[in-house]
Chains A and B, each alone.
Chain A
Amino acid sequence: MNENEGAGPDKPRAIVVGHGEFAGGLVSAVGQICGMADKLVVLSMMGMTPEDIEGTIRDHLARTGARVIFTDLPAGSATIAARRIVKDNPELVLVSGVNLATLLDFVFSTDVSPTEAARSAAERGKASLIVVGR
Chain B
Amino acid sequence: MGIHLYRIDDRLIHGQVVVGWGQPLNIRLLILVDDLVASSDWEKELYRMAVPPDMEVRFVDVGTAIRDHPKYAVDPRPGLILTGDIGSMYRLVKGVKAIGNVNLGGIHHRAGRSEKLRYIFLTPDEERQLRELEAAGVEVTAQDVPSARAVPLPEVLEGATR
Q: A47-B108, A48-B108, A50-B10 are in contact. Are A76 and B15 (CB under 8 A)?
A: yes
- Measured as residues with beta carbon below 8 angstroms from the partner, the interface class of chain A is 10 to 19
Interface majority SS (helix, strand, loop, mixed), chain B: loop
Q: Is the CB of A83 closer than 8 A to any CB of chain B?
A: yes
- Measured as residues with beta carbon below 8 angstroms from the partner, the interface class of chain B is 20 to 34
Q: Decide: B118 and A80 in contact? CB cutoff 8 A.
A: no
Q: A47-B118, A50-B11 are in contact. Are A80 and B50 (CB under 8 A)?
A: yes
Complex Cα–Cα for A41 and B14 (A) = 22
Q: Decide: B109 and A75 in contact? CB cutoff 8 A.
A: no
Output the least CB separation between A51 and chain B (Å). 8
- On A, residues with C-beta under 8 Å from B are 19, 47-50, 52, 73-77, 79-80, 83-84, 87
- On B, residues with C-beta under 8 Å from A are 10-15, 17-19, 42, 46-47, 49-52, 108-110, 118-119
Additional pairs, 15, CB under 8 Å, beyond known A47-B108, A80-B47: A19-B15, A47-B118, A47-B119, A49-B110, A50-B12, A73-B19, A75-B13, A75-B50, A75-B52, A76-B15, A76-B50, A77-B15, A80-B11, A83-B46, A84-B46
